[in-house]
Amino acid sequence: MAESVYKIVELVGSSPNSWEEAAKNAVETAGKSLQELRIAEVSELDMKLEDGKVAAFRARVKVSFKYLGKE
Amino acid sequence: MAESVYKIVELVGSSPNSWEEAAKNAVETAGKSLQELRIAEVSELDMKLEDGKVAAFRARVKVSFKYLGKE
Amino acid sequence: MAESVYKIVELVGSSPNSWEEAAKNAVETAGKSLQELRIAEVSELDMKLEDGKVAAFRARVKVSFKYLGKE
Amino acid sequence: MAESVYKIVELVGSSPNSWEEAAKNAVETAGKSLQELRIAEVSELDMKLEDGKVAAFRARVKVSFKYLGKE
Amino acid sequence: MAESVYKIVELVGSSPNSWEEAAKNAVETAGKSLQELRIAEVSELDMKLEDGKVAAFRARVKVSFKYLGKE
Amino acid sequence: MAESVYKIVELVGSSPNSWEEAAKNAVETAGKSLQELRIAEVSELDMKLEDGKVAAFRARVKVSFKYLGKE
Amino acid sequence: MAESVYKIVELVGSSPNSWEEAAKNAVETAGKSLQELRIAEVSELDMKLEDGKVAAFRARVKVSFKYLGKE
Amino acid sequence: MAESVYKIVELVGSSPNSWEEAAKNAVETAGKSLQELRIAEVSELDMKLEDGKVAAFRARVKVSFKYLGKE
Amino acid sequence: MAESVYKIVELVGSSPNSWEEAAKNAVETAGKSLQELRIAEVSELDMKLEDGKVAAFRARVKVSFKYLGKE
Amino acid sequence: MAESVYKIVELVGSSPNSWEEAAKNAVETAGKSLQELRIAEVSELDMKLEDGKVAAFRARVKVSFKYLGKE
Amino acid sequence: MAESVYKIVELVGSSPNSWEEAAKNAVETAGKSLQELRIAEVSELDMKLEDGKVAAFRARVKVSFKYLGKE
Amino acid sequence: MAESVYKIVELVGSSPNSWEEAAKNAVETAGKSLQELRIAEVSELDMKLEDGKVAAFRARVKVSFKYLGKE
DSSP secondary structure string, D6-51?
EEEEEEEEEESS-HHHHHHHHHHHTGGGGTT--EEEEEEEEEEEET
Whether residue B7 is predicted with pLDDT greater than 90 in this model: the reply is yes
Is-contact I57 I47, C-beta < 8 A?
yes
Q: Do J15 and K3 touch (CB under 8 A)?
A: yes
Q: Do J7 and L7 touch (CB under 8 A)?
A: no
Enumerate neighbours of J (3 or more CB pairs within 8 A).
A, E, K, L
| Neighbouring residues of B52: CB distance < 8 A, sequence distance ≥ 6 | C27, C28, C30, C31, C32, C33, C34, C35, C37
- Is the pair E, G in contact (3+ CB pairs within 8 Å)? no
H36 or D64: whose pLDDT is higher?
D64
Which residue among L20, L28, L41 sits closest to H19, beta carbon to beta carbon? Answer: L20
| Neighbouring residues of G1: CB distance < 8 A, sequence distance ≥ 6 | none
Count other Cβ atoms within 10 Å, centred on residue F45.
24
DSSP one-letter string for J1-66: -TT--EEEEEEEEEESS-HHHHHHHHHHHTGGGGTT--EEEEEEEEEEEETTEEEEEEEEEEEEEE
Q: Which site among J11, J33, J68 would you substitute to test the K interface, given the most K Cβ atoms closer than 10 Å to its Cβ?
A: J11
Average pLDDT score over chain A: 89
Is-contact F62 F40, C-beta < 8 A?
yes
Closest residue by Cα to residue D11 from C43, H66, B62:
H66
| pLDDT tens, position by position, J39-55 | 999 999 999 999 889 99
Whether residue B33 is predicted with pLDDT greater than 80 in this model: the reply is no
Pick the CATH number of G6-66 from 3.40.50.10310, 3.90.1260.10, 3.40.50.2300, 3.30.1660.10: 3.30.1660.10
| pLDDT tens, position by position, E16-56 | 999 999 999 999 998 777 767 789 999 999 999 998 899 99
The answer, for H10 touching chain L at a CB cutoff of 8 Å, is no
Is-contact D59 D26, C-beta < 8 A?
yes
Quick one: what percent of chain C has pLDDT higher than 70? 90
d(CA H1, CA H24): 27
Whether residue D43 is predicted with pLDDT greater than 90 in this model: the reply is yes
- Taking contacts as CB-CB distances below 8 angstroms, the residues of chain L near G28 are 52-54
The answer, for B42 touching chain D at a CB cutoff of 8 Å, is yes
C58 or K69: whose pLDDT is higher?
C58
- Is the pair I, A in contact (3+ CB pairs within 8 Å)? no
Enter the DSSP assignment of K4.
-
- Taking contacts as CB-CB distances below 8 angstroms, the residues of chain L near H17 are 20
Q: Do G64 and A32 touch (CB under 8 A)?
A: no
Residues across chain B: 71
- Taking contacts as CB-CB distances below 8 angstroms, the residues of chain K near I33 are 52
- Taking contacts as CB-CB distances below 8 angstroms, the residues of chain C near D58 are none
Q: Do D33 and H70 touch (CB under 8 A)?
A: yes
Is-contact G57 G47, C-beta < 8 A?
yes
| pLDDT tens, position by position, G8-55 | 999 999 999 999 999 999 999 987 777 677 899 999 999 999 988 999
Quick one: what percent of chain J has pLDDT higher than 70? 92
Which residue among G17, G46, G52 sits closest to H42, beta carbon to beta carbon? Answer: G46
Longest dimension (CA), chain C: 51
Enumerate neighbours of F (3 or more CB pairs within 8 A).
C, E, I, K
Q: Do H32 and I6 touch (CB under 8 A)?
A: no
Which residue among D20, D32, D40 sits closest to C49, beta carbon to beta carbon? Answer: D40
Q: Do C56 and F5 touch (CB under 8 A)?
A: no
- Cα atoms found within 13 Å of the Cα of residue D57, Cβ hemisphere only: 20
Q: Which site among D1, D5, D12, D66 would you substitute to test the I interface, given the most I Cβ atoms closer than 10 Å to its Cβ?
A: D5
The answer, for C8 touching chain E at a CB cutoff of 8 Å, is yes
Closest residue by Cα to residue H19 from I62, G22, I42:
G22
Q: Do G11 and B69 touch (CB under 8 A)?
A: no
A1 or F26: whose pLDDT is higher?
F26
Q: Do E47 and A30 touch (CB under 8 A)?
A: no
Closest residue by Cα to residue F61 from F15, F9, F18:
F9
The answer, for B60 touching chain A at a CB cutoff of 8 Å, is yes
Whether residue K36 is predicted with pLDDT greater than 60 in this model: the reply is yes
- Kind and range of the H or E run holding E29: helix E19-29
Lowest average pLDDT, out of A63-67, D31-35, I14-18, K47-51, goes to: D31-35
Average pLDDT score over chain C: 89
- Taking contacts as CB-CB distances below 8 angstroms, the residues of chain B near A8 are 10-12, 60
Count other Cβ atoms within 10 Å, centred on residue C48.
16
Q: Do E39 and J52 touch (CB under 8 A)?
A: no
- Cα atoms found within 13 Å of the Cα of residue E24, Cβ hemisphere only: 16
Closest residue by Cα to residue E42 from A59, A60, J13, J58:
J58
- Taking contacts as CB-CB distances below 8 angstroms, the residues of chain G near B4 are 14
- Taking contacts as CB-CB distances below 8 angstroms, the residues of chain K near J9 are 7, 71
Which residue among K2, K4, K8 sits closest to J10, beta carbon to beta carbon? Answer: K8
Q: Do E49 and A42 touch (CB under 8 A)?
A: no
Q: Do F49 and K39 touch (CB under 8 A)?
A: yes
The answer, for K48 touching chain J at a CB cutoff of 8 Å, is no
φ, ψ for residue E40, nearest 5 deg? -125, 120
The SS3 of residue A46 is strand
Closest residue by Cα to residue L2 from K48, K20, H50, K11:
K48
- Taking contacts as CB-CB distances below 8 angstroms, the residues of chain C near E48 are 2
Which residue among G18, G20, G34 sits closest to L52, beta carbon to beta carbon? Answer: G34
Whether residue A37 is predicted with pLDDT greater than 50 in this model: the reply is yes
d(CA C17, CA C13): 12
CA dihedral K32, K34, K40, K45 (to 10 degrees): -30
Quick one: what percent of chain H has pLDDT higher than 70? 92
- CA–CA distances in Å: residue I64 to residues G45, I13, K48: 22, 16, 13
- Taking contacts as CB-CB distances below 8 angstroms, the residues of chain F near E61 are none
- Cα atoms found within 13 Å of the Cα of residue J46, Cβ hemisphere only: 12
pLDDT of residue K24: 96
Enumerate neighbours of E (3 or more CB pairs within 8 A).
A, C, F, J
Q: Does domain L11-66 have CATH number 3.30.750.200?
A: no
Lowest average pLDDT, out of C59-63, E33-37, J65-69, goes to: E33-37
| Neighbouring residues of F1: CB distance < 8 A, sequence distance ≥ 6 | none
The SS3 of residue H52 is coil
The answer, for G30 touching chain B at a CB cutoff of 8 Å, is yes
C69 or I52: whose pLDDT is higher?
I52
- Cα atoms found within 13 Å of the Cα of residue L59, Cβ hemisphere only: 25
Longest dimension (CA), chain A: 51
- Tell me the residue type at D43: S
Q: Which CATH architecture has domain H15-66?
A: 2-Layer Sandwich (3.30)
pLDDT of residue K71: 59
Whether residue F17 is predicted with pLDDT greater than 90 in this model: the reply is yes
Count other Cβ atoms within 10 Å, centred on residue G2.
15
Which ranges in chain K belong to alpha helices (H)? 19-29
- Taking contacts as CB-CB distances below 8 angstroms, the residues of chain I near D7 are 9-12
- Tell me the residue type at G5: V
The answer, for G17 touching chain L at a CB cutoff of 8 Å, is no
DSSP one-letter string for F10-53: EEEEEESS-HHHHHHHHHHHTGGGGTT--EEEEEEEEEEEETTE
The SS3 of residue B52 is coil
| pLDDT tens, position by position, C3-12 | 789 999 999 9
- Kind and range of the H or E run holding H53: strand H53-66
The SS3 of residue H71 is coil
- Taking contacts as CB-CB distances below 8 angstroms, the residues of chain L near K56 are 2
| Domain residue ranges of chain F, discontinuous segments joined by + | 6-66
Is-contact I50 F40, C-beta < 8 A?
no
Enter the DSSP assignment of B8.
E
- Taking contacts as CB-CB distances below 8 angstroms, the residues of chain F near E69 are 29-30, 32
Rounded average pLDDT over D42-50:
96
Mark residue D51 as left, alpha or beta (left: phi above 0; alpha: psi -120 to 50; beta: remaining): left
Could you give the ipTM of this predicted complex?
0.92
Q: Do L49 and G39 touch (CB under 8 A)?
A: yes
Rounded average pLDDT over A38-61:
94
pLDDT of residue D35: 66
Enter the DSSP assignment of G35.
T
Helices and strands, number each (H, E), in chain B: 1, 3
Which residue among C10, C16, C65 sits closest to F71, beta carbon to beta carbon? Answer: C65
Enter the DSSP assignment of C61.
E
| pLDDT tens, position by position, C21-38 | 999 999 999 877 776 778
| Fold classified for K12-66 | Dodecin subunit-like (3.30.1660)
The SS3 of residue G8 is strand
d(CA G11, CA B66): 10
B16 or L35: whose pLDDT is higher?
B16
- Tell me the residue type at I9: V
Enter the DSSP assignment of B37.
-
Is-contact H6 H66, C-beta < 8 A?
yes
The answer, for G70 touching chain A at a CB cutoff of 8 Å, is yes
